[in-house]
Amino acid sequence: MSELVVVGVDGSPSGFDAVAWAADDAFRAGAALRIVSVVETWPYQVPQIAAVEWESSMTERAREILAKAQEIAGERRPTVEVSTRVMTGKASVALREQAAEAAELVVGRRGAGGFAGAVLGSVSMSVAGQAPGPVVVVRDGDAAAHDEVVVGVDGSPACEPALDYAFRQAELRGGNLRAVHAWPLPFALAPDFSCDIEALRESHLRVTREQLTPWQERHPDVRVIADVQCGHPVKTLVAAGDRAGLLVLGSQGRSGLGAFVLGSVMRGVLHHARCTVAVVRERP
């Protein structure tokens, strides 16, 4: 994998926040930074509009956005190698293509064309759910005040790419890694249903520690906290993110019903988290 961080920018404040975050992360990793602006001409491809004029005007605007973004990155991290690129097409598709070339793709939480009051932009959600590798959705105005990295785990193999990314991030930041395993109470299927809550917790804790052990051996300098809680995964992860600089999720969970549930968890966390979130999808 190339040592390259790609960040998408569209002229919105959220996009420029993403540039600052990406510059910091490229600096920590010793990676180059590529800033991309996508010119979307497809909404204007109708007979009544001169498409060539629209495309020329939007391309010039994209270059202006890139110049400002490059200035932000240069002022923040002068030693990071920065390049820019204008692309044409659908933003979500173009950014997914860029993700295939990069160590990570960084986007802002809300774009310039979103609905007022929307928490998460459609492009951000699309690339986070479909792009290969890590996709970082930067919280608006994120100053990364906390060094702790939180990662959601459930004992499934699908968590492994997220653990790989989370351990590397914690190592680069010199902070703790908190592995959060949240499990809801089982449904009461009969009037006399009962269970040993402490025994269940110990079982979940054992699964979590078994999954973490190989990664701890590869990253001995990272202090790991196994945080096993009985509660709703979205609420638990969002609360853990309040004291973290980064919250990391896998894009899929256990097979069958679990995969559906974790998909809903990913969407819920992306919408409600008050910190920057990285969604890590396994590369082909």
What per-residue confidence (pLDDT) applies to 207?
93
| Residues paired with residue 230 on neighbouring β-strands, in sequence order | 183
Classify burial at 146, counting beta carbons within 10 Å of its beta carbon; exposed 0-12, middle 13-18, buried 19 or more. middle
Nearest-CA neighbor of 67 among 96, 31, 37, 22? 37
Q: Is the pLDDT of residue 256 over 80?
A: no
Q: Rounded to an integer, what is the distance from CA 153 to the centroid of its chain?
A: 15
pLDDT, tens digit, 9 for 90 and up, residues 245-255: 999 999 764 43
Residue 79: phi, psi to the nearest 5? -85, -10
- Of 40-54, 89-103, 115-129, 193-207, which range is least confident? 40-54
Give the number of other Cβ atoms within 10 Å of residue 8's Cβ.
29
**All domains in the chain, ordered by first residue:** 4-138 (3.40.50.620), 149-281 (3.40.50.12370)
Q: What is the pTM of this model?
A: 0.87
- 49, pLDDT greater than 90: no
91-96 mean pLDDT? 90
